[in-house]
Structure 1
Amino acid sequence: MKSIKIAGVPEHFNLPWHLCIENGEFEVEGIDLQWTDVPEGTGKMCQMLRDGEMDIAVILTEGIVKDIVGGNPSSIVQVYVQSPLLWGIHVGANSAYQTIEDLQNKKVAISRYGSGSHLMAIVNAQNNGWNTQTVEYDLVNTIDGAVQSLTNGTSDYFMWERFMTQPLVDEGVFRRLGECPTPWPCFVIAVRNEVLQKHPQTVERILEIINNTTIEFKDIPSIDRTLASKFEQKLEDIQQWLRLTEWSQEPLDEKMLNKIQNQLFDLKIIDKKGTFAEIVKGI
């Protein structure tokens, strides 16, 4: 049995992985796929890949591209979710802010530097014509930390996946002022280069198994009810999310990588660009 350590956020996007693990699909192939939930998100997973704590990460595209360019010895092997991530822009329920424009020059809560909540705050600032170099941050680690930060006024707003934050909006903890979609596919699968070199067939089989599940995921009977129950969401919200979400079984192509890097470079998120061969590896 070959042990492989994989990490991802504890969100609805990753239910296909859990179903495959629970059904023993990796085990049948002699693979002990050990899943770890990482609520801190992409910045934390980048560090885990660097430190060898994880072999594979299901990770936000912009964050792992930035980190590979910055020296992370990993590669993107496939797009996992083709559709954009819809980032909700949230303030505390009792905040005086009423519009996105009110947030200019205000402090944004982020899970950690290099995370999606950090990088997309910069994208959002550019979208609104703000100075991206003067955005201030409050490091909160997790969504629970963001609740505390916004509630006590340590920060002014927080960007996180729009549907995962919906229960907090429904409960009156957050108010959502708007949304900011990623200009690229939102999740990719990244693998440490050492693992790719030593166990290419294992990685290939893992991708085949997950791809067979994501192709048919939306057709699983009552999958909307399963998701709503597991992630404490309203059924209509999950149904809307399912309509908007498209999984992928394809590699990241060079044209899309160039688009991502060009925007990250223009925003001064990266100070150099990597080559396609350095960032993306075929299996």
Structure 2
Amino acid sequence: MVPLRIGYVREHFSSPLLQYAEADNGSTFVLVECPSGTGQLISRLTNDEIDVAIALTDPLISGIAKGSQAYKLVGSYVTTPLNWAVITGKDSAYQQISDLKGTPIGISRPGSGSQTMASVMALQQGWPTDELEFKVNNDIHGLVNSVNDGSTGAFMWEWFTTKPWLDRGEVRFIGSVPTPWPSWLIAAHPSRATPDALRTFLDTLSTYVRAFDSPEKRAKDDVEYIKKTWGYPEEDVKAWLKTVGYPQDCASIPTKVITDTISVLEKAGVFKSPEGGFDVSHFVNTDIVKLA
């Protein structure tokens, strides 16, 4: 059996996946790191570079809504919101989110979470979402450079992932925008990933996720694993663990996650629904996932 190619972002959220990968040792799947985030994951699914992506809810759903045939949703990975920091340059004039109206916003790639969440931020601020200007900066390093050279006013990235730049005084946080939905889903190419291989992957991933999510592991083992793997300060790890939750069954998605995300993204101007609205089953591989 050819191992599944699993695309992922190497962040603290991926800890249960990494623990599974260490035990599997390449026998049923291999990890493909996508440091630029969900925009890169979707691109690699489209270009036959990966078979499965563990990625952010909003770009995955907006990609299917906009017509992508490269993947369908097959499962859940994180059940809690993602807290997006709104980040500006260390010497910029911007002091709060409202100051950013009319400024270019840095994003990693078109269709990324950094772009969809900027539209959600604009919706919350009452700005015209169709007037947003985006500048592509590829990854966290390009985004940090852009706010400090003034080519963008701000960018958005997960709070704890970006906190080391804040701690070193390289950027400033001027606010945050939590996602109005559970933050991570799992998507797979409709034909490259076989149903049997996907079911095995999702079932076994569920056991690692449940173990990581247990009170016993959260008290000590999770803290030590994240400190060792990412070098985060213990107080940051404990603060993050208080905010994050994982599913009991990775092969299940609540229907409400899809419908609520579609509703907010449409209001934010990310896409338009067809006449009569979307059929939720259009977004999922019904051979694999259970809609709850």
* TM-score interval (norm. to shorter): over 0.9
Task: Indicate the percent of aligned positions where both proteins have the same amino acid.
Answer: 30
Q: Distance in 1 between matches of 2:134 and 2:63?
A: 19
Shift of residue 281, structure 1, vs aligned partner: 2.2
Structural mapping, 1:142-181, within 5 Å: 142-181=139-178
Q: Distance in 2 between matches of 1:40 and 1:72?
A: 21
CA contact (8 A) 1:68 1:279 kept: yes
CA contact (8 A) 2:3 2:26 kept: no
Structural mapping, 1:3-18, within 5 Å: 3-18=3-18
CA contact (8 A) 2:122 2:268 kept: no
Shift of residue 25, structure 1, vs aligned partner: 7.1
Is 1:212 the counterpart of 2:213? The answer is no
Shift of residue 146, structure 1, vs aligned partner: 0.7
Task: Give the structure 2 partner of residue 235 of structure 1.
Answer: 234
Q: Distance in 2 between matches of 1:24 and 1:8?
A: 16
CA contact (8 A) 1:41 1:111 kept: yes
Is 1:24 the counterpart of 2:21? The answer is no
* 1:190-228 deviation line (CA, Å, top 9, x unaligned): 0110135xx211110100111101111043343212212
Shift of residue 80, structure 1, vs aligned partner: 0.6
TM-score normalized by the length of structure 2: 0.91
Task: Give the structure 2 partner of residue 280 of structure 1.
Answer: 284
Shift of residue 97, structure 1, vs aligned partner: 1.2
* 1:74-96 deviation line (CA, Å, top 9, x unaligned): 11111110000000001111111
Structure 2 residue identity aligned to 1:275: D
Shift of residue 268, structure 1, vs aligned partner: 2.1
Q: Distance in 1 between matches of 2:56 and 2:182?
A: 9
Task: Give the structure 2 partner of residue 104 of structure 1.
Answer: 101
CA RMSD of aligned residues (A): 1.5
Task: Give the structure 2 partner of residue 90 of structure 1.
Answer: 87
Is 1:187 the counterpart of 2:187? The answer is no
Task: Give the structure 2 partner of residue 65 of structure 1.
Answer: 61
CA contact (8 A) 2:16 2:212 kept: yes
Specify which of 35, 42, 46 is matched with residue 50 of structure 1.
46
Structure 1 residue identity aligned to 2:280: F
CA contact (8 A) 1:167 1:232 kept: no
Question: Structure 2 regions of 5+ residues with no counterpart?
Answer: none
Q: Distance in 2 between matches of 1:255 and 1:146?
A: 33
Q: Distance in 1 between matches of 2:13 and 2:244?
A: 9
TM-score normalized by the length of structure 1: 0.93
Shift of residue 172, structure 1, vs aligned partner: 0.3
Structure 1 residue identity aligned to 2:3: S
* 1:109-164 deviation line (CA, Å, top 9, x unaligned): 10011100000000001111111111111110000001111111111101000000
**SS at 2:191 equivalent:** helix
Q: Distance in 1 between matches of 2:266 and 2:97?
A: 25
